[in-house]
Structures are given as C-alpha cells and as structure tokens.
Amino acid sequence: MDDAAAQAGDRAEQRQVELRIVQSIADIEQAAWDKLLKPGDRPFLSWTFLEALERTGCVAPDRGWLPFHLTAWGPSDELIAAAPAYIKNDGMGDFSRDWAFGDAVRAVGGRFYPKLVVGVPFSPVTGRRVLAAADLDPAAAARLLVQLAAHTAGEVGVASIHFLYHRGQDASALSGAGLSQRVMVQYHWHNYDYRSPDDWLAKLRSKRRTQCRRERREPAHQGIVIRTVRGQEIAADPEHWAETAFRLYCTTCDRYMWGGRYLNRELFSDLFADLGNEVELVVAEREDRVVAGAINLRSDTHLYGRYWGCHEEHRFLHFNVCLYHSIDECIARGVQVFEGGAGGEHKISRGFEPAPVYSSHLFMDEKLNSLLGAALRRDAKRHLEGIEAWRSNRQQLG
C-alpha cells in the first residue's frame, strides 16, 4: 500500500469510523445508501435495485447468495462507505468466470469457497464497487472495507474475496488495499458522435458493413416491427410489460439445461414499477404479437443489454433485437456506450469493440494468494496486450 493511501486510511480511522457487516440492505435506510451514489451508479447500485433482489428472494441464502454488505459509519452514525457483498459457495450468477481459479486452488490442495463477492448479482456490468461519501478519499474507503472483509473472512471461514467488474480507475485503490488485479474482455459499442446509423455503418469495413445491412433488412421481410417500450408506456401498465418481459426471459432460461431462472416474476414487477426510465423493453412484434424481446437497463450515459428471449425463431432476429435496434436508439438519444452483455466475439463484426473489464482478488491463504496473484498479473498483461493489438490493427486497416 502506498503512503498516500495509508495516510488517507489513517485520517479516516481517526474519524471514529465503525465498520459493520449488514446482512440485509433493508436494514440500511434508502436515503443513506443512495446518498453515496454518483452519476453513473444507477440503476445497478441503487438501493431500489439491490433491495428488490433481496426482498423478492432472487438473492437469498437458499439461492446461493448470503447478503454480507460491507459498511463504514461515521461518528454521528452516518453511512460514509459501503459495498454490496455476498458470500457464495459457487460461481452461479456472479459472472466471475472463476472456474479456472477453483481448479488451480484444488490442484494445490487449497480452498476457494466460500468466497466473498463484492459486486452486483446477475449483472456483469462495469461500475464502482466501493461507494464513499464525498469527503472520504476513495482509496481510504477501499482500505477500510477491505480490512473489514478480510477480518470477517477469517472469523466466518471465507477463503477468498473478489471485487467483480469494478472500474479500471479503481484498480490502484484496490491494489493498494492488497488485492491482485484480473482482466477479462467484453465487447462494447461506443458512440463517436454519430448523427445516424449510416454514420457508424460507414466506419465498418466493407464486408462487415454489407453483412450488417443485409441482417438489418431481415425484419422488414419477415413482417416484424422492432421498437423500444419505455417511460410513459411502461408506467401506464407496468404489470403487463413485467409479464411480457418475464415470459421472454423464461424462454431462454428454459431452453438450456444450465439456464436456471435466477430471477422471478415478482422481481420483474418491481423493476418495471419502480425503476422508471431506467428500465426498457425492446420488443419485436409480428401481427400484433410479441415474438421476441430484450430487457435493457440504462443510465444517463450507458445502455446495458441484459436478457433476451423469443417465442418464435426468425433469421437474424437476435442481432436486430439485441444489437442493431439498440445501437440505433443510442445514436438517436446520444447514449455514449452500449454494453451488450458478457461474452460474444460475434459482436465485433457488428460494430462492437473489445474492452477490458476488471476484477480484484484476495486469497486468505498467503502462499496461495502470492501464487495466484502472479498468475493474474500475467493473464491481465496478456489480455491488455491483445486488446491493444486489436486497436492497432484496426487503425492500420482503417
């Protein structure tokens, strides 16, 4: 840990900070939690979103999620730092992609589970993971909450701590608190001040541009109209749209043997009733029937593609509902970044770019922590070099 971070932590500790584990976000006042939010934190870090996950039972011990939120409180019992956290005995629903971790740990006779996950359940989206009051240095807040996590891990038998999908600029604070950085790759679409879809299509190579245009024409040939339901249309009948979205979600979950329903019907009702303009539903309609759709969440600057489903299979419909339509909407509304979800190299040929996504890790076994920390650094270097090589190649080819 560098001297500046240590000094900041010392100043914070001199404020008579009390560190607590809170096992239900409902035990924290909504105003206190949301006071720590900054632009870009919503909707995933909002009290409304996190509390709905717990209250509806989507996040609960019997579903593999034990809430274990990290909090720091000032001398007047005001919340000054917090991080959404959960104890887990598996990697289901956290998008940690940590199977190789587990295999490596078991190979040397170590323990990987239970693990403490700091992040947003079911949401592989980049954002802050340590929320801090405006007058508290973020590095000091990270140090305090990592101290709390590590101390409590020893008491309850947690073997590892994982801050998932944090921002790249937060890596140094977490590194200063003793965690090792990991890098994975997602594919994001960026709005370079496009005025129309033709502007961004023009930036694609000729072969890819032709492919995209051919795929984008398909819905019209199929008699399908794609549109986004949002705002007042949702507010006029949130239960209808919640039911529509849930049925679409279930079509994908039930199609695959590993596609368990993480989310339930009650949560969909809450999201469509309580998130307002932060939730949208892209629907593909044919002869007045919804045949496919995708649930999106949004902030002022970002659109997040979350769940796709379809009642009918049509050629290229997935690409049009999940990618092209929302790209067009981002251009029309001035949205800066569209995160289309985890994975999917196919997105590159459709205008998306590889982007690094970050996590930071601490293993309670010191020898294991040293070994895996070195491996994570090598892996991070490889991914970052691969992304840089892709960017360089694109610039050379134009």
User: In whole angstroms, what is the distance from residue 65 CA to residue 89 CA?
Assistant: 8
Per-domain boundaries in the chain: 3-185+355-397, 192-335
Q: What is the rounded average pLDDT for all residues in the chain? A: 92
Domain 192-335 in this protein, CATH class: alpha beta
CATH classification number, 3-185+355-397, choose in 3.10.20.600, 3.40.50.800, 3.40.630.30, 3.40.50.300 = 3.40.630.30
Which of 35, 33, 12, 19 is closest to 140 using CA atoms?
Answer: 12
Give the closest residue to 188 by CA, choosing from 351, 328, 382.
351
pLDDT of residue 2: 44
Letter for the amino acid at 257? M
Euclidean distance between CA atoms 248 and 370, whole angstroms: 45
The predicted structure's pLDDT at residue 318 = 96
pLDDT of residue 254: 87
Q: What share of the chain is helix, strand, coil (3-state, %, to 5)?
A: 45, 25, 30
Cβ 311 vs Cβ 290: under 8 Å:
yes
**Identity (one letter) of the amino acid at 34?**
D
Confidence of residue 6 (pLDDT cuts 50, 70, 90): very low
CA distance 280 to 234: 8
pLDDT of res. 82: 98
For residues 367 and 358, which has the higher predicted lDDT (pLDDT)? 358
Highest mean pLDDT among 99-113, 258-272, 287-301: 287-301
Tens of pLDDT, residue by residue over 228-273, are: 999 999 999 999 999 999 999 999 988 875 657 899 999 999 999 9
Question: What are the tens digits of pLDDT across the range 334-365?
Answer: 999 999 888 788 899 999 999 999 999 999 99
pLDDT tens digit string along 64-79?
Answer: 999 999 999 999 999 9
Q: Which of 116, 132, 93, 84 is nearest to 306 (CA)?
A: 93
Average pLDDT over residues 95-100: 86
Burial class (CB in 10 A: 0-12, 13-18, 19+), 3: exposed
What single string gives the DSSP state of each residue in 215-267? Answer: HHHHHHHHT-EEEEE-HHHHHH-HHHHHHHHHHHHHHHHTTSTT----S-HHH
More confident residue, 9 or 293: 293
